[in-house]
Structure 1
């Protein structure tokens, strides 16, 4: 066995005598598969798991192992049959099988119970009997094909899990079983993966490399290890080229930041005691530490780009292995906070964690990259106030075209959140969530922003406040990631354009000025924000039957256009969410102002949308946004032009008494 030493196995068995909870959880996870006959597809029928979503509600369908033809939505109750749902059911069966086989191997290793080993080997033998004849299939965007599944990514997860299980069960299997599984499934599978790995930076390639490398280590095939670990686009190449200077995985989504690390670490866990481990590479620790700078109040992971709620549910358990091997206060802090929310009885802690976690407490502070660099800025304040300003670069497939977008939280409420996305097979993923118009930023002509290297240009703490300036300048050269991408933006709408977003962050509010230069004179320029809760005060408005028939705006409804007096300089919108009052002061300046409702995430509920529209070539949006638990603390806001700047005067009264500030932005 490669992945555990004899000493580690003895330690796990001794640990099991003291604390059985984690192993009991693994046993519970595999209970159904242990009790049922082996269920394996005889042909390469399995489809993409992310098709298993209700097209109307964008929520995952309810899976029933005993019914392959009926798939119900837990929200609306509709039952789906036929494609792609029936074949996706088989994809889920595959995933549950290979996950369970690895878990059964662990149970056998720790407890010695042979029933689990026998069932695991039986499942692998069954797959090995069909694998060579599985049809190559799949037509998933951005993905190569698969055999057991519909994409090369699925194939790699399938093969890596079975290969690691093969290693765990190597002393249990007969020589004939080992030879059959190796020659009929694992080695042909590795050859298939090598044929279909793409020469690009991508989380997919990390997963594919990890599977090839594990199989190479098991069977002593050096060319597999060289290809998957050391050659261009192998594991080391991905680790060194895929992490940006701000330590974020280049795809810009925490879902994929941790998804890539999951496969990096799957390989490192396996290779740890071989000459081919690189666990001490500094990029691993840097990527794991980054979350401390971003973590939201309430210990939540920001929903940047293609991150959905399922993506990050178990990501924090990765910190167990990382802390054991790399140490460090930031990794320890994440684990301490995690176990304020849940018991430390998960399998990662039991198998890969230290026996006892030291106590650690720290308060994450404000965060920003160096001026001139791409990345994000995170600002924090009392009462759970949090603002994330996104000035990163285009990240490829999983990008959301929302440079200079913001996420704003306060008092435990996600007031103006980044909505993330849903399952990629759901209609709303491409129709709504990925688009610029569903984010808290500016879009031109209703089109998605083209790729650009946005950057921070100023970060200054002064007089108790913080001033941040960022820009996205499409007139400058930019660098596309070394990763295949499908064009889903309109170059000509943005290439002449420069956008600058400025933030003044104060104790009770933040002021912003968003300036756009170079937009086409006839193109609408839209500032978009969404706000949680109920609308309690809006300007008088005229109902609009259809705001737009173009996506994502076509999903907005109950839209009104504000009716403003000729000389009205500013407008106030009010929202209330569970007793938290948010007020938005807007410098109207002849703009068209709209408000209404649109999809939240999941899309079965709505969130408020506020859209302000002007026309090029130059336009400025200015606002003050404040939240309070009770009456609004900001009493009055005055906007005015002051040469090249916008002057924003804010007056109010807080616990410390009256305040008055003038921001020139």
Structure 2
């Protein structure tokens, strides 16, 4: 571990966040006694049975249904994401691509829901001995074992047959494996062998094909392979899952950076990796094999605790790369998934407030007082290409580059800014990957606080070069020499107790010897939910259209002014007001538009300013407005 992160300190039980490693257990006898002695627990079990009973009565799962991808469950006419419920009718099958994907997305939801109810029924059987539930759950495993290899092989991402790609099979494999474990004695050797040979081993074989190695997807694949190997005591398969050259341990060694955050550079995918490991580590503990995965436990703990270093004063995290939502510093549901093996305050607290199979079978310790979190201060996290700059109440998150291309957006040199708990500028994140709002807007430069070249953001991911980091001055400067072909962009941020200062330089270089570079529209985008109003230095003028670039068409209600070298606008953020002052080239054009943000259809303001040429340098400063 590196001193750049407080994850190591937080991993000490004395810090009050992490409680120390433990083994998962299942107290079926104790839970049965509580069902008899507690009306609340008895009612909870009654509700579980009612849930499964209702699904058993209508279960539409069939062998002729080919599973797809839930992110394709989009209205074929509008492209809008549709919410699936147990009452969503089976769509008509059709020849068009959109309608077929919509149908297969519906199947994916049905299949995932059925698999979850299979585990629930197996648990009810294990608790009550009611063979109605045991047999129904066993028949679902029979069904998947019989039909797995009859479904078409899909190669959209890896290999899968229950779904469109392997990741969803990896995710659901843990639920299926747990159901098989709970039904092992009930099913008998022949049935268990049929499940192994018809479903689990063929699934593991498919999961060996990984289209995106050394990614969160690869980790899920190898974790699932290891889980299947554990259940069926297949030492060769387990060795493959853990120790293949691109297997579980290799992926963790590559993906867990020296700064303890997952290399794909989003807090959501950091949590997603922790989710995968929570399933494997809990299963290994229940199978009596936790010692086999000690290295994996250590990696998981580092990932789970890394986010504390980046939190803002409202205990929310930045939203770098293609995360879909702003997350709290400790996502309670993620910590909950590990409370049985790597308990933290947040996981134990939620386990004590949630009534679930996990917390009833494996009651957590009492939740103590909330821990005092370590102070956030200025730090550079070079392996993940992020920095936190903090002085007094002011804090900036600087995403100056990307460590890998997976899940990168056009947001190199982007920043987010807070004054205490006041959000001055934040990253919107994104929406469903199949939505045009993701592909054409939120993943693009115009949706981020970045430099735009003829309206376009960076052309490909890059790590960037830090040219200056002065912790005592809360200042970092980074540069991308290939921001776009022939374009170098440098940006520096500095935070003081009185605000933030930013400098950006854009230089267009010749791409062919002897031919001077062509002039371009060189600009800066600044997004804010605050009200933005023009102040000094801006003059009305005939409108010049925004650059014709992907993403900018999503900006609406655009107004334009011209400016000299210096101009200001005001920002009203709730009860607080600020001045944004800009210095730059002469003959600037300044635009104010309304732009999409999340959750859709919410809009917020975007300020964009530009000059035409082969070089432009801008300085901006945000300070509290002094009346």
> Using a 3 Å threshold, how does the CA distance of structure 1 residues 55 and 82 change in structure 2: closer, same or farther?
closer
Residue 291 of structure 1 and its aligned partner are, at CA, apart by: 1.2
1:285 to 297, 301, 308: 301
Q: Which residue of 2 aligns with 1:34?
A: 53
Distance 1:165 1:315 in 2: 27
Task: Determine the C-alpha separation between the residues in 1 that align with 2:25 and 2:308.
Answer: 35
Instruction: Say whether the 8 Å CA contact 2:67–2:163 is kept in structure 1.
Output: yes
1:492 has 2:488 as partner: no
What secondary structure is seen at the aligned counterpart in 2 of 1:619?
strand
Q: Which residue of 1 aligns with 2:314?
A: 298
Superposition map of 1:98-117 within 5 A: 98-110=115-127, 114-117=131-134
Is 2:501 aligned against 1:511?
yes
Gaps of 5+ in 2: 1-21, 510-516
Task: Tell me the TM-score normalized by structure 2.
Answer: 0.82
Paired residue secondary structure (1:277): helix
- Asked if 1:610 is matched to 2:607, the reply is yes
Give, in whole Å, the separation in 2 of the partners of 1:23 and 1:299: 37
Q: Kindly tell me: are residues 103 and 536 of structure 1, through their superposed partners in 2, closer, same or farther at Cα, counting changes over 3 Å?
A: farther
Matched, 1:434 2:443: yes
Q: Distance in 1 between matches of 2:241 and 2:305?
A: 26
Gaps of 5+ in 1: 72-79, 476-489, 636-665
Q: TM-score, normalised by structure 1?
A: 0.78
2:8 corresponds in structure 1 to: none
> What secondary structure, in the 3-state scheme, does the structure 2 residue paired with 1:432 have?
helix
| 2:105 paired with 1:88 | yes
Match in the other structure for 1:486: none
Structure 1 residue 67: Cα displacement: 3.8
Say which of 234, 237, 247 aligns to 1:234: 247
SS of the residue 1:65 aligns to: coil
- Structure 1 match to 2:512: none
1:43 aligns with 2:64: yes
Q: Which residue of 2 aligns with 1:307?
A: 323
Q: 1:130 aligns with which of 147, 163, 166?
A: 147
Greater share of residues in helix: 2
Give the structure 2 partner of residue 662 of structure 1.
Answer: none
Give the Cα–Cα distance (whole angstroms) in 2 for the partners of residues 172 and 41 of structure 1: 24
Q: 1:142-161 CA deviation, whole Å, 9 max, x = no partner?
A: x2342111111122223332
Aligned Cα root-mean-square deviation (Å): 3.6
Between 183-192 and 114-123, the greater mean CA deviation after superposition: 114-123
Instruction: Provide the rounded CA distance (Å) in 2 between the counterparts of 1:581 and 1:315.
Output: 31
- Aligned partners of 1:19 and 1:380: how far apart in 2? 51
Distance in 1 separating the partners of 2:120 and 2:215: 27
Alpha-carbon distance between aligned partners in 2 of 1:375 and 1:348, rounded to the nearest angstrom: 37
* Offset of residue 432 of structure 1: 0.6
Q: Distance in 1 between matches of 2:530 and 2:77?
A: 23
SS at match of 1:41: coil
Q: Aligned-pair distance for 1:49?
A: 0.7
Does residue 468 of structure 2 align to residue 444 of structure 1?
Answer: no
| Shift in CA distance, 276/321, structure 1 to aligned 2, threshold 3 Å | same
Alpha-carbon deviation of 1:313? Answer: 12
* Partner residue, 1:526: 523
1:471 corresponds to which residue?
A: 478
> Relative to 1, partners in 2 of residues 1:49 and 1:540: Cα closer, same or farther, differing over 3 Å?
farther
Listed one character per residue, the Cα deviations across residues 246-288 of structure 1 (whole Å, up to 9, x for unaligned) are: 1111110111111112112211111232153225653222211
CA distance in 1, matches of 2:77, 2:543: 24
Question: 1:594 maps to which residue?
Answer: 591
Q: What is the aligned partner in structure 2 of residue 661 from structure 1?
A: none
Q: Distance in 2 between matches of 1:312 and 1:70?
A: 37
The change in CA–CA distance for 1:349 and 1:379 in structure 2 (over 3 A counts) is farther
